[in-house]
Structure 1
Amino acid sequence: MNSSKPVIAAGSVAAAAAPRRRRALAPLEPVSARARWMLGLGFFVVFVVVWGFFTLGGFVSPTFLASPVTMVKEGISLFTEFNFSHDIGMTVWRVFGGFVLAAIIAVPLGIAMGTWKSVEAFFEPFVSFCRYLPASAFIPLLILWAGIGEAQKLLVIFIGSVFQITLMVAVTVGSARRDLVEAAYTLGAKSRGIVLRVLIPGAAPGIAETLRLVLGWAWTYVIVAELIGSSSGIGHMITDSQALLNTGQIIFGIIVIGVIGLISDFAFKAINRRLFAWSTI
């Protein structure tokens, strides 16, 4: 009689585990933080294994795609022989410099457009038009206007970010809950109080999320800016490596951009969670 109890207990554990496995594959079912990290890391492991299989196995010529081992060796040489840390620092400075300039102008303008419909009617057609213009198309003009120095690169990132942030912030502010606005009016709030105490606090988590997303786009603009008329930066290194057919250095530069962008994204998320712990974003 006693010997049957462990068997029954094991059977009950297996039966309970089966629904949990089914729930893990259900649509919109959340996963634990540990499982999320393991799954995310697992993809990178699979990616590197497949990459190494085709390159180290001789299926792809090293001229067209370096192996993971070669890429690591070239990355080490970039730091030890070519002062790659300086290039990284210049690229990070350009991204955040142009992005901050865009945010300083775009966030207030977006709040104004979302708050007052007359302001939105005045600015929205022009902002929407400019949003579709590729920032890279302005590079020839910016070189004529600002030369090939830092101002030109900052302006490329500024142009690529400012219109996106403006419209996204305007939409976030304009979608405020009407019942909260009416309640504030009922309690005696004036227009200034509505903006400062209802609209902006309610839209703040969404604005922060907008800035996080557009910061990722800014990384694509800086590489385009550095490909032309630049003597430093990750994009400059990639251009030089392309001329030498050094795919190992090219891939390493691309990976460095992804790693820095991922770190900045995680940092932005952590700051947003700390500042807006009450929000679901």
Structure 2
Amino acid sequence: MAAPTASSAGASLPTAQPPSLQSPAPAARSGWRPLEPVSPRARWALGLGFFVLFVAVWAGFTLGGYVSPTFLASPVTMAQEAWLLFTEYGFHKDIGMTVWRVLGGFVLASVLAVPLGIAMGAYKGVEAFFEPFVSFCRYLPASAFIPLLILWAGIGELQKVLVIFIGSFFQIVLMVAVTVGGARKDLVEAAYTLGASGQGVVRRVLIPGAAPEIAETLRLVLGWAWTYVIVAELIGSSSGIGHMITDSQALLNTGQIIFGIIVIGLIGLVSDFAFKALNRRLFVWSFFK
């Protein structure tokens, strides 16, 4: 019988791969390495698990008698107070008023701030003119304007919408300007080479390229708008979630206070998911970079 040749022996034996070329072990794909993604199911399970753990610890401290009910109501007490708010005090109307105020101020700020931010990012002369003032106003807390806004607009709905507008407008302007100004220079030069005008570059290169990040900026600022509306409703308001929290604080009803805070978080979470879903549908390419 002929002895096996080197080529036939090599074909029958597995070749060892360098460690850098070997596929990672299954345990390495579980999301516990730096920047390693996790599956959508695992993400939902982990996120829900934290809430379950948080409520369990909360219930353990309150129901176990480690914390006085005056300072922190138990989850059971909070659920009872929540039922009373909806069945006897018309809390759904307060929620509707708060949502309307947030949307009113945020939409008004977005409609005016996005075009100005695009102009500042695209034209350096516009940026040089507006940027110092916008940066100055960005550091002013919206709550500091409440006394002036009460003098100017009274204690009605306009005052609360303006608080949200002031808190959102300058943030959106500066963030949009930075996003547009960070466009790829090679794409701009290519557009000029193909004969595009200055306005054509803005319409066909800068705005489409920055649109996904502008939408993400609006999503982030919407979360900040929810903090401004509560501040606006704490003073001179007869409705809204912030008004309910203020009344509950006067009565030392921590169950209603906690439930009001949770409602704000839930509404914000729903709006955040809705914004993400809309951005994913409008800017599909940005999620597959």
TM-score where L is the length of structure 2 = 0.90
Distance 2:46 2:72 in 1: 26
CA displacement, residues 224-252 of structure 1 (integer Å, 9 cap, x when unaligned): 00000000000000000000000000000
Distance 1:53 1:21 in 2: 35
CA displacement, residues 133-165 of structure 1 (integer Å, 9 cap, x when unaligned): 000000000000000000000000000000000
Among 67, 92, 104, the alignment partner of 2:99 is 92
Residue number in structure 1 paired with 2:80: 73
- The answer to whether the 8 Å contact 2:30/2:38 transfers is no
2:36 maps to 1:29: yes
Could you tell me which runs of 5 or more consecutive residues in structure 1 were left unpaired when the two chains were aligned.
1-15
* Residue identity opposite 1:249 in structure 2: Q
Matches within 5 A, 1:89-238: 89-238=96-245
Residue number in structure 2 paired with 1:8: none
CA displacement, residues 102-132 of structure 1 (integer Å, 9 cap, x when unaligned): 0011000000000000000000000000000
CA displacement, residues 207-235 of structure 1 (integer Å, 9 cap, x when unaligned): 00000000000000000000000000000
Distance 2:30 2:50 in 1: 22
Distance 2:31 2:114 in 1: 39
- Give the CA deviation at 1:25: 1.2
CA displacement, residues 3-45 of structure 1 (integer Å, 9 cap, x when unaligned): xxxxxxxxxxxxx996425753110000000000000000000
Deviation above 3 Å: which 4+ runs of structure 1?
Answer: 16-19
Distance 1:275 1:263 in 2: 18
Residue number in structure 2 paired with 1:270: 277
- Between Structure 1 and Structure 2, how many residues are aligned? 266
Distance 2:103 2:147 in 1: 22
* Residue identity opposite 1:170 in structure 2: A
* Coordinate RMSD, CA, aligned: 1.3
- Give the CA deviation at 1:192: 1.2
* Residue identity opposite 1:123 in structure 2: F
* Residue identity opposite 2:115 in structure 1: P
Rg bigger for which structure? 2
Matches within 5 A, 1:39-54: 39-54=46-61
TM-score where L is the length of structure 1 = 0.93
Distance 2:27 2:126 in 1: 52
Distance 1:59 1:228 in 2: 34
Matches within 5 A, 1:236-255: 236-255=243-262
Residue number in structure 1 paired with 2:14: none
